[in-house]
Amino acid sequence: MAIFEGAGVALVTPFYADGTVNYDKLEELLEEQIAGGTDAVISCGTTGESSTMSHEEHLDVVRFTCQKVKGRIPVIAGTGSNSTSEAVHLSVEAQKAGADGLLLVTPYYNKATQKGLIAHYTEIAKAVTIPILLYHIPGRTGVTMTPETMVTLCRDVPNIVGIKEASGNFSAIAKIMHLADGCVDLYSGNDDQIVPLMSLGGKGVISVLSNVAPAQTHEICASYLRGDVKKSMEMQLEALPLIDALFCEVNPIPVKAALNLMGKEAGPLRLPLTEMEPGHQEILAKAMKNYGIL
């Protein structure tokens, strides 16, 4: 059984002005997501600025998230690293904290071979018992995982169950699903490609858009899953201008700006990320107004 079907939110981590984690706001955001119909929460992924957190902060946020969600929806913890031993440590501790699953980005910078990727993921999977999603985003990591490697891992390692695919390469994605023969739970890592990816057998999306439009993102997936492809497609297309605005600067710069525009007090970003350029913020605000969320 899949960890979840539908829209999982890649949740931001709200900070105070001094850069420390704002746990009061984090709890508010979690409650709003659950109330909005979000199907899973992804804690400490890219959107959550995990790359600028210490291991202690990272695990504290995962623990807090699990405690507040209390099993109402699955919590998937981002625990990837370019160091296998660090990823093992984070993954083991996230399981202890109560996470329902793990999201493991390909090990960036090192540029492992396909053999190295298989060894890396297998080592992490041996250390835990909860299900694992691979996270393929070569534009950020500089590492391309082949369809054959992904399917080998999902087929041969019992608790590696699926993939968050953010390459945008639909020829490769189709090959994954051709080779998989049902052993891969596939999720879109790109909000502008939810419906196309679900048409190839995807289970849903791990979404940035859900931070600001949880009900709508949930419904894009829910409509597709209940067979109303036309409605799903129409909602996907309607959201495109907002999605474009949410990615006009590197994620999570725009989505934090959007939440702040909505009065959600997500706070600042941690360096090296900087606040959104004024011109881009105008584009974002216009898109939000046109979409009816501002």
The CB density around residue 266, as the number of other CB atoms within 10 Å, is: 24
Q: Which of 25, 164, 256, 264 is catalytic?
A: 164
Provide the sign of the torsion angle of the four alpha carbons 104, 269, 290, 216, taken in this order.
positive
CA distance 188 to 242: 17
Q: Which of 135, 187, 224, 291 is catalytic?
A: 135
Virtual torsion, Cα 153, 157, 163, 169, nearest 10 deg: 10
135 is catalytic: yes
Whole-structure pTM value? 0.97
Q: For 16-52, give one letter per residue: b (16+ CB within 10 A) or e.
A: eeeeebbbebbbebbeebbebbbbbbbbbbbbbbbbb
Structure tokens at 284: 């974002």
Helices (H), 127-193: 138-141, 147-156, 170-180
108 is catalytic: no
pLDDT in tens, the chain (294 residues): 899 999 999 999 999 999 999 999 999 999 999 999 999 999 999 999 999 999 999 999 999 999 999 999 999 999 999 999 999 999 999 999 999 999 999 999 999 999 999 999 999 999 999 999 999 999 999 999 999 999 999 999 999 999 999 999 999 999 999 999 999 999 999 999 999 999 999 999 999 999 999 999 999 999 999 999 999 999 999 999 999 999 999 999 999 999 999 999 999 999 999 999 999 999 999 999 999 999
